[in-house]
Structure 1
Amino acid sequence: MSSVLQGFTKSLAMTVLSEIGDKTFVAAAILAMRHPRRLVLSGCLAALIVMTILSAVVGWAAPNLISRKWTHHITTLLFFGFGLWSLWDAFTDGGDAEELAEVEKKLDADFKANAGNIKKGSKDDDELKKKRPFLSQCFSPILLKAFSITFFGEWGDKSQLATIGLAADENPFGVVLGGVVGQALCTTAAVLGGKSLASQISEKMVALSGGVLFIVFGFQSFLSSVES
């Protein structure tokens, strides 16, 4: 039970400090301003939950492919590396507004490109919706768009790699649970808070806090014994 709680606590703290204010957070906030919030929230959350589970499975399988000793040492190095990476970002990147503008610009271009098609097919869509089965209506283009933007935005991200490392060294169930709760909190805040919340978050402070947290995890991992 204590191992599950430890994995949950570490994963929750890491997820919140890694995800809040990042590109997928901003994208969710902007999408929620233009589309129904329930669809954006459903798509983003589904992508993040799938990504968390996949990452935890990879981390859980790692000790079966490599010796427990080596996965422990690799995880320790990952924590120190991510900690220094986050601290570097905190002191060198001053472009919170630029990142927000960049994400908004990309989504803006996509939104304008699709606007004409949506208007043209609106009448046909209304007729088709009556004929479509309920299940197919649930998988709307908006939900799928939110899912794909979030999933591919998170692929290879620092938080994904950190989840793999954490699951290799901690209880995978606790890591998944903490990650899902953390993702749900961040994504809900992004969807409900909108662009104003995204623009008010100090990415420098988040990166600084995340860097310190990763280094603390690194020291804890370095000082702990390897379980056989």
Structure 2
Amino acid sequence: MSLSIFQGFTKSLAMTVISEIGDKTFFAAAILAMRHPRRQVLAGCLSSLIVMTILSAAVGMAAPNLISRTLTKHIATVLFFGFGLWSLWDAYNEDGESEELAEVEAELDADIKADGGKPKSNNKGDDDSKKKNRPFMTQFFSPIFLKAFSITFFGEWGDKSQLATIGLAAAENPLGVVLGGILGQALCQIAAVFGGKSLATQISERFIALSGGLLFIVFGIQSLLSTANS
């Protein structure tokens, strides 16, 4: 593994783990795994995050081809410092309660109540008819897989970690960023799915936000020095 790939890999791995632990999608995976088969939840969440990581890295990789590499590094530097200060501000204002956990629980509870009002049928003919009338995608993937995939994908879209991945892929080796991001996402999702809600509620969000903020600041300083020397 070349130095550039290794550097992108380690940065992406560290950023992903710190950004995703205690994130909204982390809580969603933990709660879904308590209510549905763990393998389907893990497959749906992890597939979504892999797709998101590859898309984000592709955008970051294309950025230097659309604008100058110097400007790309300046933008990445600003993103890293901005996310670092944002995370430090979140850590400073953290009151110890998990608002994201409560929000995710409320959304999933509302979804379950909406589905729970439909009567179940024991008639095999009716069940076969319903399967034929299901949406196209559910003919190939289980509803639980699709639910976990969609919740995770739209929960991550435009999130701080996605934008940070784009900036990191623009400044570092995209292959290393993708590999590190996928490994980090896998570790976080496995912890969420098999650790369950108890792990989520024991996480110190202040510590995670503080660690993430400092990590982004370090990335920003390194990017700034690299830009100055280029």
TM-score (norm 1): 0.92
Which residue of the partner structure matches residue 193 of structure 2? 191
**Structure 2 equivalent of residue 68 of structure 1:** 69
Q: Distance in 1 between matches of 2:123 and 2:207?
A: 48
Q: Residue 21 of structure 1: SS of its match in structure 2?
A: coil
CA distance in 2, matches of 1:180, 1:163: 11
Superposed CA offset, 1:37-56 (max 9, x none): 01100110011000000000
Give the secondary structure class of the aligned counterpart of 1:25: helix
Other structure's SS at 1:96 match: coil
Query: Alignment RMSD, CA only?
Result: 2.2
Secondary structure of the residue aligned to 1:224 is helix
| TM-aligned CA distance change 1:114 to 1:136, over 3 Å | closer
Runs of 4+ in structure 1 deviating by more than 4 angstroms, as ranges, are 121-127, 135-138, 225-228
Kindly, what percent of the aligned residue pairs are identical? 73
Counterparts of 1:204-215 in structure 2, within 5 Å, are 204-215=206-217
Distance in 2, Cα, partners of 1:218 & 1:161: 14
CA contact (8 A) 2:6 2:176 kept: yes
Which residue is 1:200 aligned to?
A: 202
Amino acid at match of 2:45: C
> Alignment partner for residue 162 of structure 2, among 160, 163, 182?
160
Deviations 1:136-194 (A, max 9, x none): 66501111010000000000000000000000000000000000000000011000011
> Normalising to structure 2: TM-score of the pair?
0.91
Say if 2:45 and 2:152, in contact at 8 Å, map to a contact too: yes
Quickly say closer, same or farther: Cα 1:65–1:32, change in 2 above 3 A.
same
Write the mapping of 1:34-45 to structure 2, written as runs, cut at 5 A.
34-45=35-46
**How many residues of Structure 1 are paired with residues of Structure 2 in the alignment?**
224
Give unpaired runs (5+ residues) of structure 2: none
User: Contact between 2:60 and 2:166, CA under 8 Å: does it hold in 1?
Assistant: yes
